[in-house]
């Protein structure tokens, strides 16, 4: 599938303000700074669509983008960002969790994981939460361009080994890079199949 046009539609604080549920929707979630907004830009071939930053905590709202007038991409605030007040963080997290749990037209959640670091408790717990709510998700290992490919493979193997300790079925996972566009075709064909 190729994308002809992607447009910013709306930023919402919470689910009640999101656009109508008339089109299939795909959301990107993961720790702050993992590369969610960059990945949306990579998929849509538009570096300026979603706002990115070297500093964590950039995306603070639920951002809807409409693609070819047929489906939505959703950029979400990252979790685990320490530099805002506890109260503020709890509010984002509550709004994001409610959105993920209740949004009727959400077809798939892409959970982004930094390919460079060992499995993090916060990511593993988030996966458990998704599974407990029976929400469908795919893992996307990000920033693969930053490591040698053998190192990426070693890290992914370690990740799978960690998951096997508590998961019977390992979630579907892809390697990605917003720099060199690794994973773009695969993600777009997944989305295309689901649409």
User: In the complex, which residues of this chain contact ligand GTP (CB under 6 A)?
Assistant: 32-38, 52-54, 56-59, 77-78, 142-143, 145-146, 177-179
Please give the Cα distance from 78 to 158 (Å, whole number). Answer: 24
Let me know: does 60 contact 45? Beta carbons within 8 Å: no
- Residue 15 touches which member of ligand GTP, Mg ion, none, C-beta under 5-8 Å by kind: none
Residue 179 corresponds to which tokens in the numbers above?
């720099």
Does 59 bind Mg ion (CB under 5 A)? Our answer is yes
- Residue 56 touches which member of ligand GTP, Mg ion, none, C-beta under 5-8 Å by kind: ligand GTP
Count of beta carbons in the 10 Å neighbourhood of residue 4: 9
177 three-class SS: coil
CB neighbour burial string for 59-73, b if at least 16 within 10 angstroms, e if fewer = bbbbbbbbbeeebbb
Of 7 and 146, the one with the shorter C-beta distance to ligand GTP is 146
CB of 164 to ligand GTP, least distance (A): 26
Only one of the segments 33-41, 85-93, 117-125, 183-191 lies at the binding site for Mg ion (rule: CB under 5 A); that segment is: 33-41
Does 37 bind Mg ion (CB under 5 A)? Our answer is yes
Let me know: does 59 contact 50? Beta carbons within 8 Å: yes
Only one of the segments 14-22, 56-64, 140-148, 175-183 lies at the binding site for Mg ion (rule: CB under 5 A); that segment is: 56-64
């Amino acid at each position: 599938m190729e994308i002809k046009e992607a447009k910013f539609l709306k930023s919402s604080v919470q689910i009640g303000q999101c656009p109508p549920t008339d089109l299939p929707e795909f959301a990107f979630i993961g720790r702050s700074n993992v590369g969610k907004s960059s990945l949306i830009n990579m998929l849509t071939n538009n570096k300026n669509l979603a706002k990115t930053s070297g500093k964590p905590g950039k995306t603070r709202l639920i951002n809807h983008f409409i693609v070819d007038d047929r489906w939505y991409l959703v950029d979400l605030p990252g979790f685990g960002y320490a530099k805002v007040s506890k109260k503020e963080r709890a509010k984002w997290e509550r709004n994001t969790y409610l959105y993920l749990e209740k949004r009727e037209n959400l077809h798939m959640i892409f959970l982004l994981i930094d390919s460079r670091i060992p499995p993090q408790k916060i990511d593993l717990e988030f996966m458990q939460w998704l599974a407990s709510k029976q929400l469908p998700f795919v893992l996307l290992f990000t920033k693969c361009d930053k490591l040698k490919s053998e190192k990426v493979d070693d890290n992914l193997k370690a990740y799978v080994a960690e998951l096997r300790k508590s998961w019977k079925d390992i979630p579907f996972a892809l390697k990605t890079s917003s720099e060199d566009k690794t994973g773009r075709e695969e993600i777009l064909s997944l989305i295309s199949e689901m649409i």
